[in-house]
Structure 1
Amino acid sequence: MSEEQAIRTILHLYVDGMAFGNEVALRKAFHANARVIGNYEGSVEWLTRDEFISAVLAEPPAPPDTQPVMDIETIDISGDAASVKVTDEFAGMRFTDYLSLLKIEGRWIIVNKLYHLHPA
């Protein structure tokens, strides 16, 4: 599997984990020390991985036969570091996410998520 394919696998874990409320997938996609940062409801939100997962699980999951929205705009890889820009939808909201990934012990993992919530 190429590095880009391995990163795309993590992106699918991430987006499917959000869409279907899959805690196991989200824990596999995000490093334990990852942060999720963005402007949400008028203030800056700084979440740990566990706070982010709790917020995802608080929303009703998409029906099982749903195809989650995921538009991967860029994947930029430099050795063991990568940056990804992806647009996705969650709980009726559209986001552009800037994800930082690091290859740790041979496996890509999200270490940071900076997001933009598009106006409704």
Structure 2
Amino acid sequence: MKTILLTAFMLWNFQGIKAQNTIKMENQIEIQAITDAIENYYFKGIYEGDEILLGSVFQPGTFLFGDVKGQPYFKTVDLYLDGVKNRQSPKDSGKPFKGEILHISVVNSIAVAELNVKMYDFNYRDFLSFHKINGRWLIVNKMLTDTSR
């Protein structure tokens, strides 16, 4: 009887470990997909001033909120992309640019990424909300603040 109970307990325990490992592996796959979206569309689009590339990672209708140099900041994604299109890109400015992913947290089909973006004379902290829509991770909200002070 002890052997049966011990065997049943071990099987139950190993099954839990396998489920946890599967969830961790799935999360790592999703984190990698979000990392790719940030690096290849968000950072690259900002750096190059490519509003089409940058816009492809945003869900239409997305809002951007925050503060820059202590002043409230609010834009629609369309206004933001128009600004990117009509300014000198960080690449063309000759000033340093560095995008860094600080943290990504995924729960089911939603995620939040915390980033640090150094460009021009600013050091931004961005919080991007993602939603997996039709198999793609898209930014559905952006909050930012200028931490240069």
Is TM > 0.5 for Structure 1 vs Structure 2?
Answer: yes
User: What corresponds to 1:99 in structure 2?
Assistant: 128
Q: Which has the higher helix share?
A: 2
Does the Cα contact within 8 Å between 2:112 and 2:129 map onto a contact in 1? Answer: yes
- Equivalent residues in 2 for 1:32-51 (5 A)? 32-51=60-79
User: What corresponds to 1:59 in structure 2?
Assistant: 87
Letter in 2 for 1:93: F
- Relative contact order, CA 8 A, sep 6+: which one is greater? 1
Where do 4+ consecutive residues of structure 1 move more than 3 Å?
Answer: none
Q: Does 1:26 align with 2:75?
A: no
Does the Cα contact within 8 Å between 2:113 and 2:127 map onto a contact in 1? Answer: yes
Q: Which 5+ residue runs of structure 2 have no aligned equivalent?
A: 1-27
Letter in 2 for 1:80: S
Q: Which has the higher strand share?
A: 1
User: For residues 105 and 45 of structure 2, what CA distance do their matches in structure 1 show?
Assistant: 23
Query: Matched residue pairs, number?
Result: 119
1:8 aligned to which of 28, 35, 39 = 35
Q: Which 5+ residue runs of structure 1 have no aligned equivalent?
A: none
User: For residues 29 and 44 of structure 2, what CA distance do their matches in structure 1 show?
Assistant: 21
User: For residues 44 and 67 of structure 2, what CA distance do their matches in structure 1 show?
Assistant: 23
Q: Tell me the TM-score normalized by structure 1.
A: 0.88
User: For residues 119 and 140 of structure 2, what CA distance do their matches in structure 1 show?
Assistant: 20
Bigger Cα Rg: 2
